[in-house]
Amino acid sequence: MKNNMGTIDKVIRILVAVVFAVLFFTNVITGTLGIILLVLAVVFVLTSLISFCPLYWPFGINTGKK
């Protein structure tokens, strides 16, 4: 598993995850959509921590340094 995420990509994912979590925990977004966004936030944080996005791999996308 090679790293395929750059620093900017990781920062954007973490910021989006924080926004999703805040919206969920402040009850701005609730129900099924809230749960889906919360799960997506967890996925964003995990992929940022390991610097690998499984969806980038089949398309050959690499936002990291060459």
Cα–Cα distances in angstroms (integers) from residue 38 to residues 22, 59, 66, in the given order: 9, 26, 32
Q: Which residues contact 44 (CB under 8 A, 6 or more apart)?
A: 13, 14, 16, 17, 20
pLDDT of residue 2: 84
| pTM, 2 dp | 0.87
In degrees, to the nearest 5, what angle opens at C-alpha 54 toward C-alphas 51 and 59? 110
Q: What's the token pair of residue 57?
A: 């791999």
pLDDT of residue 35: 97
Residue ranges per structural domain of the chain:
7-59
Q: Over its length of 66 residues, how does the chain's per-residue pLDDT go in tens digits?
A: 788 999 999 999 999 999 999 999 999 999 999 999 999 999 999 999 999 999 998 998 898 877
Residue 53 dihedral angles phi and psi, to the nearest 5°: -110, 115
